[in-house]
Amino acid sequence: MGRHGTIAGRKAAQDAKRSANFTKYARVITIAAKAGGDPDYNVSLKHAIERAKGINMPNDKIERAIKKGTGELEGESYVEESFEGYGPGGVAMIVNVLTDNNNRTTSFVKHSFDRHNGNLGKPGCVSYMFERKGVIEIEKADGVDEDSLMEVGMEAGMEDMASEDDGYVIYTTVDDFDAVQEAIEKAGYVIANAEIDYLPSIESAPESESDIKSLKKLVSELEENDDVQKVTTNCSLDLSE
């Protein structure tokens, strides 16, 4: 389903990117906190805080982000936006952003696509190639039994489970994601990563080495920008290598 590398490798790459800049996660927390500052009654905020703590974001930064969302502290007003287009070699791309200046962010994304031989398209031009799914990853370890894990997941409503070299990946619908994650945690399993993600139903890959290099540069440039929350592609190659 478009997952590349090992669970540990994906987590390490994600953590390195996130730890380099807490700004992105602070924005996610602020947006989530607008629906209420108590994570016990705000699932989106709970997930945002859990993932921020997973990359060792300091508690004071988390609290500050929450207070900005609830209005206790003055803060910027962020807007969620997504951009769709094709990267080098015809690879489909979705770029999700949180920005306080849509003109600035739009200009940056368009310039990045142009600079690396991509084409920014209209909303909906590539999203039909992806499905929104819940993805929960558990690393293999002593005490992690595949059959028992599958039973817990199935009872909670998971759609599918895949076995990888170093762990298991559970897939859910968006609606069942919270229930499945909670059931797995209550059963005592340690979750390496859990998120709602775009999974490609149609995969593609550049044919030339130059296009592969350009695609990697484009993805990297986008991910390094504070406004960009996530870059998703339908590339069948591991772009983190």
164 backbone dihedrals φ, ψ, rounded to 5°: -115, 175
Q: Are residues 112 and 235 in contact, defined by beta-carbon separation less than 8 angstroms?
A: no
Q: List all residues 6 or more positions away from 127 whose beta carbon is below 8 Å from its beta carbon.
A: 84, 94, 198
> Which CATH code is given to the segment(s) 7-70?
1.10.10.200
Length of the chain: 241
pLDDT tens track of the chain, all 241 residues? 556 666 666 666 665 555 557 888 899 999 999 999 999 999 889 888 988 888 889 999 999 999 999 999 887 788 899 999 999 999 999 999 999 999 999 999 999 999 999 999 999 999 999 999 999 999 988 888 999 999 999 999 999 999 988 899 999 999 999 999 999 999 999 888 888 899 999 999 999 999 999 999 999 999 999 999 999 999 999 887 6
Q: Among 131, 129, 126, 124, which residue's Cα sits nearest to residue 196?
A: 131
CB distance 57 to 23 below 8 Å: no
C-alpha to C-alpha distance for 36 and 25, rounded to whole angstroms:
17
Distances (CA, A) of 172 to 11, 75, 208: 19, 35, 35
* Domains of the chain by residue range: 7-70
Nearest to 237 by CA among 222, 214, 79: 214
CB 140 within 8 A of CB 199: no
